Chain A
Amino acid sequence: MKEQPSAAGDIPLPGGSPRVPDGARGFGFSDIRRPDIWLILSASIALLVSIPVITVLVMSTVSTGDIWAHLASTVLTVYVANTLILFVGVGVGTILIGVTTGWLVTMCQFPGRRIFEWALLLPLAVPSYILAFVATDMLEFSGPLQGALRDMFGWRTMQDYWFPDIRTIGGAILMFSLTLYPYVYLLARSAFLQQSVCVLEVSRTLGRSGLSSFFQVALPLARPAIVAGVALALMETLNDYGTVKYFAVNTFTTGIFDVWLSYNNAGGAAQLASALLGFVILLIALEQISRRQQRYHQTTSKLKDLPGYPLSRGRATAAIAACLLPVLLGFLLPASVLAHYAFESFRDTFGSAFLSDARNSLLLASVSAVIAVFLGVFLSYANRLRPGKALTALTRFSVVGYAVPGAVLALGVIIPFGWLDNYIDGLMRSAFDHSTGLIFSGTVFALIFAYVVRFLAVSFGAATSGLSKVTRNMDNAARMLGRSPLGTLGAVHLPLIRASVITAGLLVFVDVMKELPMTLILRPFNFNTLATRTYDYASDERLWEASLPALSVVIVGILPVILMSRALRNSRPGH
């Protein structure tokens, strides 16, 4: 059999995952004479989920006049340059914070480590746009910080002193890095946790220093996980509209919106979105090619206790500072500012509207999370059972929805659903003289579908990266003992990848709670969520009224964070 470069475990973006051992291939348990239910189901799911992206691609084939020439001669270079700067900045920022802190709390002993283990995840509960609102409020000329400085030094006007402007591309990089590094932290930490300490010990025995072992051994081993984390962070950055708009940093995404809304040129917007998609796919491909020859998986399932290097006093202080700073800036400060505002505005803002917003948010988030996780695990497992180029390619394509800016994805949802609704309505009218109206578009159905399309990448990535660590020998053993593929999944894989699955579900949950652009476009009548309410007020620079819903998004985001960290810690057997 010819060597196939893209086989089973090598699927994912953004899950970026290891390959399977070669021996696993060609072990076919599948009985090709029967219709292959796994193949059919997973291909159907992948196709269904791909519909919005396909719609966008189709939309981009319409003629769009001279819009490209206009953009190319005016603003396109700025958009592209800003996007690249953001990419590099956020990439470096999230890696620096996420990997450093992930390593420190996993491998070192210092006071507060146990708290930081979960506290470092907290900024994940703060949407970038909310951090941007709060940071601006704190750091601008009339904010408390500059006010205090003026009082202290007797300055009066802006001309008397220099203070960094937060509403810049640097400010945006800071906002994104602080709120998105937990993706890298989470995945890096779970990779560090699963690494065999023996490998590290061998490295130490062979004379490497701790630091050098980290760079030469642990980091390369964790690379797939880190890359997956950064990919998530960068795609969130691409999808963001609130923060960059508030900071007046024009990016490629701004361009997409502008072409769509200022020029009423949805086709042109779809073309820009497709170009962006192409760019993302290229990045993913480059990354995967770069580690084509590498294999990452444990050779043994025996895990020794983590070493917990004790740190000297000076180093411990530095470690505490390194862990505290992101939590402080990314969570504690914004949350306390919001809490302060929310406390003062409570009488104005708390009421039945708030409660119904909260209910909507929670329901949408939990339903979408359950569906996304179910589909993510299913697709990932199907890819393991049926390695093959076609299914792999289809699955990969079905999760790229994550790379499309939410608002554009919303377009890709509205258009086919609208068509389907009208089609069904037409059928029903002619057959039964009964109009069904719009069943799918304009209801929470469309909204949940959109969330699942967008966040399937998160659950699929986590499931795949979890499954890739389960050696094929387990599958083989279970199957030989008479378990069906589904039985094997339930009895063997799910318990083993429980942590990954829980993490995936919680990530999707928090993501949906925070999601803004799609919710704004697709929401049904008389329907608000905590995020849309926050945005309505904050975009009118009314942080006062926005504070309670904003704080609620943050607080709800904390709960999964706590569960996630427990699951993470328990994911290492015997730890």
Chain B
Amino acid sequence: MLRRSLTLAAATMVGMTGAAATSQAAGEVNLYSYRQEFLVRPFLEKFEADTGIKVNVVYASDGILERLKAEGANSPADVVLTVDVARLKAIADANLFQPVSSPVLKKNIPEQYVGDDGGWYALTLRSRILYASRERVPEGAITTYEDLADPKWKGRICTRSGKHVYNRSLIASMIAAHGEEKAEEWAKAVVANFARKPQGNDRAQVKAVHEGQCDIAIGNTYYYALMKNNEKQPEQKDWAASVRPVFPNQDGRGAHVNASGAGVLKSAKNKENAIKLLEFLSSDIAQEMYGELNHEYPVKPGVPQSAEVRSWGEVKFDTLALSKISDNAEPAARLADRAGWQ
């Protein structure tokens, strides 16, 4: 019996290995994605339908960098997709991306959203903003990130971990704007104002405002839209209704933006298809789809935002190049440790 089950095991394993291994034949592109499947799938399906190129994906949130390093020149991956520029930078720093010059990408994506030498390209923009309680925070009471440090908000601010890429990127932008020392003072003051230890995701922070646990939350823009229009879990509409989105620093450098983005790997066997995929993701149709689906800001100028996003009005964004912000990613992580923003 033991022998039989072993034979079975071996046979299954061989079968599965064969099925799961990806071919490198023409007509395919292999993607390592930090973005979750339910967000990415619709685009990839559209791309497959338009071009006939099959997209194979590994969805992973951690470890992609080490996996790429270990796989080396034989890596089956062509493209890496991330939700944050610091991770793109880490892959670029490991010298794994190849420069891509494509007239289409050059035309679609403004320079501030492109990595050095065309190593990576931002594909959608997500701004990190404040959500103020409609009941308990009067309009105009808070207008900047710097205001978060004001002692009047003691015990009133909710946010997720300072180590999460979204907050880390915000801290990195504070370092870029004020220098490390000032940014650390700011972070310490913000931590002193927390209503609870950092926990949950951005959505959970708005919910906490709704529940009265805090008065101000820090979160990405699209969560507001996703909650406001949530038909499956209508209680989220109440959460959204209890807050007012505040786009910070409109009289100054503008609201902080982070980006989802992608780059083509040096090891890419399907380089042409990889570039086609990037071009597709920067095209009007994909940019608009993304806006409709996840309410992010299109990176390509002139592409209409989703109706929900339009309703928030014209917004001024920080024009600092994303690569400058990602340069501060590690100092920001250390700063978060020192400030106790765990």
Interface of A toward B, CB cutoff 8 Å? 70-71, 74-75, 78, 141-142, 157-159, 167, 246-248, 250, 257-258, 260-264, 266, 345, 348, 363, 366-367, 370-371, 374, 407, 410-411, 414-415, 417-419, 421-422, 425, 435, 437-439, 441-445, 448, 517, 520-528, 532, 536-537, 539-541, 544-545
| Known contacts A75-B342, A157-B212, A541-B204; A444 and B16 CB within 8 A of each other | yes
Interface of B toward A, CB cutoff 8 Å? 2, 5-6, 8-9, 12-13, 16-17, 20-22, 24, 30, 36-38, 56-63, 65-67, 69-76, 90, 93, 161, 163, 168, 197-201, 203-204, 207, 210-213, 232-233, 235, 330, 333-334, 337-338, 342
Known A371-B9, A407-B62; 17 more pairs at CB < 8 Å: A157-B211, A248-B197, A264-B90, A345-B232, A363-B16, A366-B12, A414-B67, A425-B74, A437-B21, A438-B75, A448-B13, A524-B58, A525-B30, A526-B58, A536-B37, A540-B36, A541-B203
Interchain CB contact under 8 A, A370 and B201 = no
Report B293 CB to chain A, min CB distance, Å. 14
Report B183 CB to chain A, min CB distance, Å. 16
Q: Which residues of A contact B21 (CB under 8 A)?
A: 437-439, 442-443, 524
Interchain CB contact under 8 A, B342 and A78 = yes
Select A74's contact among B201, B330, B337, beta carbons within 8 Å.
B337
Which residue of B is nearest A545, CB measured?
A: B38
* Bound Cα distance A253, B150 (Å): 34
Interchain CB contact under 8 A, A521 and B63 = yes
Report B326 CB to chain A, min CB distance, Å. 12
Q: Which residues of A contact B5 (CB under 8 A)?
A: 370
Q: Which residues of B contact A544 (CB under 8 A)?
A: 232-233
Interchain CB contact under 8 A, A414 and B204 = no
9 cross-chain CB contacts under 8 A = A74-B334, A141-B211, A167-B199, A248-B161, A248-B342, A407-B62, A435-B74, A523-B58, A526-B58
Interchain CB contact under 8 A, B207 and A70 = no
Q: Which residues of A contact B36 (CB under 8 A)?
A: 536, 540
Report A499 CB to chain B, min CB distance, Å. 16
Select A248's contact among B69, B74, B199, beta carbons within 8 Å.
B199
Which residue of A is nearest B233, CB measured?
A: A544
Interchain CB contact under 8 A, A414 and B90 = no
Q: Which residues of A contact B12 (CB under 8 A)?
A: 363, 366-367
Which residue of A is nearest B239, CB measured?
A: A142
Interchain CB contact under 8 A, A521 and B60 = yes
Interchain CB contact under 8 A, B70 and A444 = no
| Known contacts A141-B211, A263-B333; A521 and B62 CB within 8 A of each other | yes
Interchain CB contact under 8 A, A437 and B62 = no
Which residue of A is nearest B334, CB measured?
A: A70
Interchain CB contact under 8 A, B70 and A445 = no
Select A418's contact among B60, B72, B198, B333, beta carbons within 8 Å.
B72
Interchain CB contact under 8 A, A525 and B22 = yes
* Bound Cα distance A74, B334 (Å): 9
Interchain CB contact under 8 A, A442 and B16 = no
Q: Which residues of A contact B73 (CB under 8 A)?
A: 422
Q: Which residues of A contact B9 (CB under 8 A)?
A: 366-367, 370-371
| Known contacts A263-B330, A418-B71, A425-B74; A532 and B59 CB within 8 A of each other | yes
Interchain CB contact under 8 A, B70 and A414 = yes
Report A218 CB to chain B, min CB distance, Å. 35
Report A256 CB to chain B, min CB distance, Å. 11
Interchain CB contact under 8 A, A443 and B74 = no
Select A70's contact among B56, B59, B337, B342, beta carbons within 8 Å.
B337
| Known contacts A248-B197, A422-B74; A262 and B13 CB within 8 A of each other | no
Interchain CB contact under 8 A, A525 and B76 = yes
Interchain CB contact under 8 A, B201 and A541 = yes
Report A87 CB to chain B, min CB distance, Å. 20
Interchain CB contact under 8 A, B17 and A443 = yes
Which residue of A is nearest B201, CB measured?
A: A541
Interchain CB contact under 8 A, B17 and A415 = no
Interchain CB contact under 8 A, A528 and B24 = no
Report B330 CB to chain A, min CB distance, Å. 6
Q: Which residues of A contact B56 (CB under 8 A)?
A: 525-526
